[in-house]
Structure 1
């Protein structure tokens, strides 16, 4: 539980900084562009999936510490599948150009993946 609380202590400021940066960029630089997903819905998805996946990694590390790396690879695959499922409404929409929407989703996706990878490496190397 302590490891999850420590993770959340870093996740919250990281998320707030990213949300504010993307919100300011989208509202000021791309003010004339209409996006399919709001900034809030994108970050709600990323935060929930990241919390779930790190909680699962902590569970695996506690019960099967030798399999934590494999669990991280598996949960990364599941996160990618969840991202595709999240983007299905966008992909099926009638929007002409979907490049901007995909970019404002996958830029934070990779930042959260890097963030989670950093903590997963710390978790694996804690032996």
Structure 2
């Protein structure tokens, strides 16, 4: 199996950043119907943070081209995403989810800078 490429990273960013995972969406809809919108919003934020934390920890082992494709397309996609989750739960939770995504992508960008060796050049 060949090493993942930058286009593979773009595909992963589309799956993880642009389109919310279907399982998360279904769980949020289910919880909203049976428990309430506030609990559904909190569960959404916790699940989103957990998913992004899992991606970040595995990204430490990604190659540079895959990480670059993921980060660059993720930054573009986060601004383009329509935020469909806000149609299900209160828009405040959607906004907080977007902020979690921005912080996540910022951390991924810092990881990319570290992997590429640019952090050593920036320290000088």
Question: Which band: TM-score by shorter chain?
Answer: 0.3 to 0.5
TM-score by length of 2: 0.46
TM-score by length of 1: 0.46
